[in-house]
Amino acid sequence: MMLAIPDLLGKGGVGRIRAIIDAADWVDGNATSGHQSALAKSNRQLPENSAAAREARRLVLDALGRSPLFIAAALPLKIFPPLFNRYESGEAFGTHIDNAVRIHQGSEFRVRSDLSATLFLEDPDAYEGGELVVEDNLGVHSAKLPAGHLLLYPASSLHRVEPVMRGTRVASFFWIQSMVRDDGARTLLFDLDQSIQAIAADRGHGDREVVRLTGLYHNLLRRWADT
């Protein structure tokens, strides 16, 4: 499942993060690359354990925790500490697939990368190029979302960032280990949850069918979830 989550951060939230990271020192983005990615990647990145990265990632994690749509879609068990990157002057990230397991630098914290996430931190009209292109069994999808919007997509998919030819593309990126490993099962649960919310808004949460469907949702989650 590929899903855009609008306005995870409002303008104020984007501004606070940009004030932190724009004033920081950036390094070669290959500091966190695997062998395959290093062959395709050209960008800049905040050092993973820098003070700026720690402060900015706290704001991202707080926003994720406040988003019912993110929680319903990802069913997060673990979230890799968000990282931050920037592309300019022709920089790009060629077609690649994310590592199956990500280990946080200098720690034993690790996640199985079920989902990848990109949080856009620059408005699309401020730079040319820089589209995130994701390939799956339904075709090729291109995304360039407004600042503050998040894109979720399967970490198992091939994806790339097109060259940035004007301006600067700034984003946060990270991975999620879901309680539900299987993307198809997770998609079914998300669709069921969204239908329950729509029916409840019309009939009320005490409606017999809403209660029955909510029970079905939790019984399926109980069957499929790892905790």
pLDDT single digits (tens) 78-129: 999 999 999 999 999 999 999 999 999 888 899 999 999 999 999 999 999 9
Q: For 116-135, how does the pLDDT look when each residue is reduced to its tens digit (9 = 90+)? A: 999 999 999 999 999 999 99
Q: Token match 């300019």: residue?
A: 88
Q: Is 142 helix (H, G, I), strand (E, B) or coil?
A: strand
Residue among 171, 93, 96, 92 nearest 126 (CA): 171
| CATH architecture, domain 183-224 | Irregular (4.10)
Distance CA 181, CA 75 (A): 10
Q: What is the pLDDT of residues 193-205, one digit of tens each?
A: 999 999 999 999 9
Buried b (16+ CB within 10 A) or exposed e, 178-190: bbbeebebbbbbb
User: What's the whole-number mean pLDDT along residues 206-215?
Assistant: 98
**CATH number for the domain whose boundaries are 3-178:** 2.60.120.620
Q: Give the integer Cα–Cα distance in Å for 55 and 150.
A: 19
Q: How far apart are CA 199 and CA 213, in angstroms?
A: 10
Cβ contact 28:44 at 8 Å: yes
Mean pLDDT estimate for the chain:
95
What pLDDT score does 136 carry? Answer: 86
pTM of the model: 0.93
Angle, CA 171 vertex, CA 194 and CA 107 arms, to 5° = 90
Domains of the chain: which residue ranges? 3-178, 183-224
> How far is Cα 24 from Cα 53, in angstroms, rounded to an integer?
9
Domains 3-178 and 183-224 share a fold: no
Return the bridge partners of 83, or none: 173
